[in-house]
A and B are shown apart, each in its own frame.
Chain A
Amino acid sequence: MAASVALRLDLPMTLASSATFADGVREHQDEVYGVALRITGDRDAALDVASSTFLKAYRAFHRYDRTRPLRHWLLRIATNEAISYVRKRGRELRRSVEVDQATAVADSNATPDAESVAREDRARIRAAVRQLPDLYRVVIVLRYFNELSVDEIAHVTGRPASTVGVQLLRGRALLRGALESER
């Protein structure tokens, strides 16, 4: 059984980079999980999204365009999965995020002041990102978590680069507004 699994894992191999599916999982799993976490805001959801992403990628690996980066393909699946997860779970997910946030703030009391302030700042920004509409949240996460360029985001999301540029500006403005209104 183990031998047959290993054989099957070697089957979907990219011609351009000669990277196997296994290499893709190893190399990009943190990033896929991270993008799912930043979009859903929930660890369990992010794990579900990451595993369904790799499951879908495994099944569709023979259809993957090998001239394009594997990373972008995986991120495209992951963002789509995360967004549909968020839409499906909607209210239920938002409630669990609030609980997560509350525990995060409570934990920060034990740390020194500067660190606690920084942690609180990060928590506030993450919460503000989670409140963004899907349209802006995806581009903000791909830009500032995955460090993709505007063209790369356009490729991952299938939106025109000019639209992505505008959505980044608008997303940042919405974030700034949300953070300032908290003060």
Chain B
Amino acid sequence: MLKYTIKKILSMIPMILIITFIIYGLLELTPGDPISYLMDPESLARLSDAQIEEMREAYGLNGPFVVRYFNWLFRLLQGDFGYSISSGVPVIDIIKTGLPATLELAVASLIISTILGSILGVVSAIYKGTIGDNVLTVFGMIGVSIPQFFFGIVAILVFALNLEWLPVGGRTDPSVTGFFDRLEYIVLPSLVMGLSMTAGVMRYARSSMLDTMNKEYIKTARSKGLAEWRVNLLHGFRVSLTPVVVLIGFRLPTLVAGSVVIETVFQWPGIGNAFSTAVRAQNYNLVMMLALIFVVMTLFASTLVDIVTAAIDPRVKLEN
């Protein structure tokens, strides 16, 4: 187990290098010049070519991109993450404030969607074909097809503006306020994000459960005279868990990177938002750092899925 984890982490290193190199190359290929985002077009037009060249030099934007990539890499290894080109703020500060907020939201909605999704999926599989199952299926379809931003806006309208139960958006600083005071801020965004993901988990859990319940060993379990709940949960649900775990595990990185919409709607100060602006401004230092986080997280999630799968399914061996 330990040996496997170490091996897996070591194998991540070349993958991280390759992926970040590709991202750097893609940034290079995008049209436009980061300098043009630094000042308004009028002042930019007044600058001479020599002055612009000087600025590019100062921001480290000159030279072949391969060289610049390795420069970035070496500085990274020395613990120097650089400064945001557009704001001048150290990249590390942006990450320090944004990442916890994003992770908080991701974990909350992951918990909501996992618990709700698997319970509803299993229930609708057990009561397959009944009205309850059909209602859940319709809700699942709606959940998958309604865009998050719309769902979010409706939620704000109802729960924040009309009922005034919860704040419209924002997040308070953890160092300033207590846990329970902050709780009300995360309820809406995490529910909106969690519920829209619940639909997917539910459909997956349902089909996995149905598949399992058709297996011969379920008949064996019944032939032993076991109570239905034991047959359903201990023999059915336990086995159908594996594919659901895989799905949830691979959702983790998507959650971190893909919460741009929710973060915008709820003015949540996370890194999803920062990432989308940074890409548009060709803000190399910030984009590369965030990309690195996403890559590490994705690889980490896949390792985690492997380990958890091996833990819950004895047929899976980690050594291979």
Does B associate with A? no
Instruction: Give B contacts to A, CB under 8 Å.
Output: none
Instruction: Give A contacts to B, CB under 8 Å.
Output: none
